Amino acid sequence: MIEIAPHATVFTALRSAAERWPDRPFLNVLEETARIYGIDSREWTYAEALGEVERLRDAYAAAGYTAGGRVMLLMENRPAFFLHWFALNALGLSVVPVNPDLQSSELEYMAGHAEPVLAVAIPARIADLERASLASGVGFPVIAPDATPPALSAELARRVDTPNGAPLRHEAAMLYTSGTTGKPKGCVLSNLYFLAAGRWYAEAGGLCTLREDGERMITPLPIFHMNAMAYSLMAMIGVGGCLTALDRFHPKSWWQSVRQSRATCLHYLGVMPSILMKAEPADTDRDHDVRFGFGAGIDPKLHGLFEDRFGIPLVEAWAMTETGAGAVIAANVEPRKRGTSCLGQPRGGVEARIVDADGHDAAANEPGELLVRHAGDDPRYGFFSEYYKNPEATAEAWADGWFHTGDIVRRDEDGDFFFVDRKKNVIRRSGENIAAVEVESILMQHPDIKAAAAAAAPDDIRGDEVFACLVVDGDRTDAKARAIVAWCLERVAYYKVPGYIAFLDALPLTATQKIQRGELKTLVPQLMTDPATVDTRSMKKRQAA
């Protein structure tokens, strides 16, 4: 089991697992993933992984990298991401995982905000990060994963703040999340955060019980998100299991990958079951070793149908990057009330409230905002440490001693929680949280756009799609809309770019000239059926590395 003690770190957890299960497989790379990445298809044992981590650690140490520095990692879902993270963690450095879909303005912002001393990136993205390093003024070097780290310069060394106190509370990573105020927030995550997440999963029990006899997990989720990085990876370390991280979700080869990996459990997002259910039923639908799936957001209408067809219980759960394992709600015990967006009940030291608009506790079945904290003397145990360089946002999130999630839920008479909606103005597209104001900020930089408003449009596959209402100079043609999208694709990650554009004479505004979000939410469904609305979804494609 993962040790949570003052001296414990992500690296010490790996080392303990390697000492206990040296010959067990730890990381697995399937042939399809290896072919896409141009790397070897293989399994790494715990002992092999630890040996490579220690080699990398010694190389970083020889180059002068010390505790308190940050290193940006842009490695997609390659095993090298984990190996470099553990090596840097062993020296007390933190990592800043980078979404490979981010483009110039996003990379520049992240570089300037995090102020890393180094970036490690796949060769195809080194030039992009070098430009971000220069444009941000930080001036950090960028290297490939197999390169020898350059010596840490004196100038960059001066930027490093040596951490105080026990390593357990030191920063292990900083993940960026979309908020409602435009720029993404940097969530500082400690060693405790990751160790607690792995331990929570290893001890959760019920339908998602993890065994210590050789568990095998497969995930197509991105490593730069907390799900794969904190839960999947750390849980496998906790039980001596093997993690298969795919480059992404491939619907046509998904079940083949599940079988080849010999997976006993899997992680999913709601979009995945929706796509998989579109395939024709086959005699091989239950030809796998999976005992359960763990995830969130499945279409309630498909929940029971999917489980009956594929023979896998899908355990719906709720958590956020900010909450980590400090406040997880999961429907991992019966009755799960499948098909109702049921999240189960808070357990294991989680305290939760549902409050109305006035801050009063909501009655049974009355929707309200979910507030959470950990029970005991430390209500922030297992949560993120802070929003970096943003104490005001941290304090606001923790107002009155509760973490305000921005999610609307309800609780029935049995005490089960049900997801209803999001209070925050966030667009949830295929598992990515997109701040509407961030989209609007990018659009407003276009020379022809006078006003912009972004909102969520319903999408049968992706959950939400980005819908943009624009007031522009000049013509309002389909060609104009597509030119705007093409312009956006050069500057931000493809998933943030509008999938629909509607040209309006004016935006719905308040008396103080702010966007009327409620009216916009009502307007979007009407515009979806307007022939003048331009569907630009076909232009939104992940760029090849």
Q: Write the pLDDT tens digit of every residue in 333-364.
A: 999 999 999 999 999 899 999 999 889 999 99
Domain's final residue, options 373, 408, 443: 408
Model confidence at 111: pLDDT above 90: yes
385 shares its domain with 508: no
DSSP string, 36-70: HHTS---EEEHHHHHHHHHHHHHHHHHTT--TT-E
Mean pLDDT calculated for residue range 135-152? 98
15 shares its domain with 53: yes
368 shares its domain with 509: no
Q: Domain containing 59 — which CATH number?
A: 3.40.50.12780
Number of helices (H), then strands (E), belonging to the chain: the values are 17, 26
Domain's final residue, options 408, 439, 462: 408
List, for residues 450-499, the tens digit of each pLDDT value.
889 999 999 988 889 999 999 999 999 999 999 999 999 998 899 999 99
Q: What is the pLDDT of residue 451?
A: 87
Residue 162 lies in a domain: yes
58 shares its domain with 166: yes
Query: Domain containing 106: what range?
Result: 10-408
360 shares its domain with 505: no
Residue 415 lies in a domain: no
Mean pLDDT calculated for residue range 367-385? 96
Model confidence at 500: pLDDT above 70: yes
In terms of pLDDT, which residue wins out, 429 or 543?
429
CA distance linking residue 120 with residue 142, whole number of Å: 6
215 shares its domain with 345: yes
404 shares its domain with 324: yes
Residue 424 lies in a domain: no
459 shares its domain with 340: no
Residue 388 lies in a domain: yes
List, for residues 320-333, the tens digit of each pLDDT value.
999 999 999 999 99
Residue 373 lies in a domain: yes
β-strand partners of 435: 426
The pLDDT > 90 percentage for the chain reads 81
Under the banding of pLDDT at 50, 70 and 90, the label for residue 214 is very high
CA distance linking residue 86 with residue 94, whole number of Å: 10
Model confidence at 179: pLDDT above 60: no
CA distance linking residue 52 with residue 26, whole number of Å: 13
Here the contacts of 14-23 (C-beta below 8 Å, separation 24 or greater) are 14/46, 14/49, 14/50, 14/53, 14/86, 14/237, 15/50, 17/46, 17/237, 17/238, 17/240, 18/46, 18/47, 18/49, 18/50, 20/240, 21/46, 21/240, 22/46, 22/47, 23/47
Q: Measure Cα distances from 540 to 325, 493, 498, 537 in Å.
A: 34, 9, 8, 5
Residue 139 lies in a domain: yes
Residue 46 lies in a domain: yes
Domain's final residue, options 408, 438, 453: 408
- How many domains does one find in the chain? 2
Model confidence at 422: pLDDT above 80: no
468 shares its domain with 365: no
93 shares its domain with 40: yes
379 shares its domain with 466: no
Residue 421 lies in a domain: no
Q: Domain containing 460 — which CATH number?
A: 3.30.300.30
175 shares its domain with 235: yes
